[in-house]
Amino acid sequence: MSKIFDNTKEAFSLKTDAELNKAFYLFEMIKRESLMKIGASLTKMALKANLPIEGIIRATVFDHFCGGISEEDCVPKVKNMHEKTRVHSILDYSVEGKETEEQFDNAVVITLKTIRMAKDNVSMPFAVFKPTGFGRFALYQKITEKKELTEQEKSEWDKVIGRYHTVCKEASNSNIPLLIDAEESWMQCAADELVEEMMIIYNKEKAIVYSTLQMYRWDRLDYLKKLHNKAKDKGFYIGMKLVRGAYMEKERERAKKNGYKSPICKDKQATDDNFNSSIEYMTSNENMSIFLGTHNEESTYLLMDKLSKNNIMPSDTTYWFGQLYGMSDNISFNLSKAGFNVAKYLPFGPVRDVMPYLIRRAEENTSVAGQTTRELDLIKKERKRRKIEE
């Protein structure tokens, strides 16, 4: 497979010189772990104290990694990116940590709106939601731990189930695939079981409901194989977003603190092997649709190679590649230029409410070896090509 991801002219084709410089200084800051920790702490304190810092945040980190404060706010970026690069967008309501029924119902309303927007816009091929956007983390955790629910909690869980049905039914009626994110391992089993219920009902003819596998967990490939057996038995299609994962440090710290075996693979190589094995498995079996959510070039090349060897056209919508907005544009835009289906996760929401997501992403970038360095190297290469390097 020829290497295509070094083309920085294509990768940064949407950025002006000023935007490229801003990205350079932003990633230079993210690269410094100690600075990032201090900055995250100060930002949290400032927001808690209601200090007027939202303008500064929006002009820097928010604008680079987010689409806007509302669905409508994202439309210009969605349109510009699709018209100029054919890269699609997935509007991701990235408000985390909400706990009330009113907030959960509001998340359903927003998800339904993004499904309807996707139905009317070819540049938005998927919708997405987060399990804890529709119900309390502690409730998922209690069910995962197989603890008996109170009558009130049973009623609460019935509402969560109802919310899933509402959006999955709308997605099915609109023929818009729906990605359901994965979260921490100690609540994930309850989410997995609920997503499986949705697959059985709504994936009879094609993959509409997509679950997510975090492949830095050593047990996820076995889970995929068991789900596949269930799918063959019950006659439904599997839609799966494959990612490496976003909670590694938290997972390891909790396992150590509570004295149980860490659910995380022993090292990066084991994670990479697990991730790539899942690609091998899914491309070797029928009735499976893949959304490959990765910033890893080798895993991306692996799926490209599998499609080529299986004589599958790059435009086949059974297979999608995805990256986060503001990252790995060298992968996204060059993949799209080569004819593959590519979508950017485009987070949106009020600046104050999206900050927990942004802080988590920045910390994740800092902790993943090589990620920020790679972004910086590519930016430096393009600045040199444009002759704007200092």
Return d(Cα 284, Cα 290) in angstroms, integer: 12
What span, in angstroms and rounded, lies between the C-alpha atoms of 298 and 371? Answer: 14
Contact 24, 377 (CB under 8 A): no
Give the per-residue pLDDT at 249: 87
Q: Which residue, among 138, 142, 135, has the nearest Cα to 107 in the 3D structure? A: 135
Give the DSSP H or E segment for 226: helix 220-234
Query: 33-76: per-residue pLDDT in tens?
Result: 665 665 666 676 766 767 777 787 888 888 999 999 999 999 99
Determine the Cα–Cα distance for residues 303 and 323; give it in Å rounded to an integer. 15
Sheet hosting strand 127-129, strand order edge to edge? 88-93, 342-348, 319-324, 288-293, 238-243, 209-214, 178-180, 127-129
The structure tokens listed for 26 are: 């932003």
The pLDDT, as a whole number, for residue 261 is 97
For 63, the token pair is: 């604008």
Separation of alpha carbons 386 and 77, rounded Å:
23
Supply the pLDDT for residue 28.
87
- 279-317 residue pLDDT tens: 999 999 999 999 999 999 999 999 999 999 999 999 999
Handedness of CA 137, 213, 115, 92 (dihedral sign): positive
The one-letter code for the residue type at 101 is E
| Distance from C-alpha of 160 to C-alpha of 137, rounded to nearest angstrom | 11
pLDDT of residue 3: 87
pLDDT digit string (tens) for the chain, length 390 residues: 578 999 999 999 999 999 999 999 888 887 776 656 656 666 767 667 677 777 878 888 889 999 999 999 999 999 999 999 999 999 999 988 789 999 999 999 999 999 999 999 999 999 999 999 999 999 999 999 999 999 999 999 999 999 999 999 999 999 999 999 999 999 999 999 999 999 999 999 999 999 999 999 999 999 999 999 999 999 999 999 999 998 888 999 999 999 999 999 999 999 999 999 999 999 999 999 999 999 999 999 999 999 999 999 999 999 999 999 999 999 999 999 999 999 999 999 998 888 888 877 766 655 555 678 899 999 999 999 999 865
What does the pLDDT look like over 5-25, one tens digit per residue? 999 999 999 999 999 999 998
Whether 325 contacts 66, CB under 8 Å: yes
Rg for the chain (alpha carbons), in Å? 20
Class of domain 67-353: alpha beta
Is the distance from CB of 215 to CB of 274 less than 8 angstroms?
yes
What's the confidence (pLDDT) of residue 21? 93
pLDDT of residue 37: 64
Length of the chain: 390
Q: 322 - beta bridge partners?
A: 293, 343
pLDDT of residue 357: 82
Query: CA–CA distance from 352 to each of 43, 65, 318, 324, 361 (Å)?
Result: 10, 14, 36, 20, 15
The per-residue pLDDT for 355 is: 84
Which amino acid appears at position 350 of this protein? P
Domain residues of the chain, as ranges?
67-353
Residue type, 17: D
Strands 127-129 and 178-180: parallel
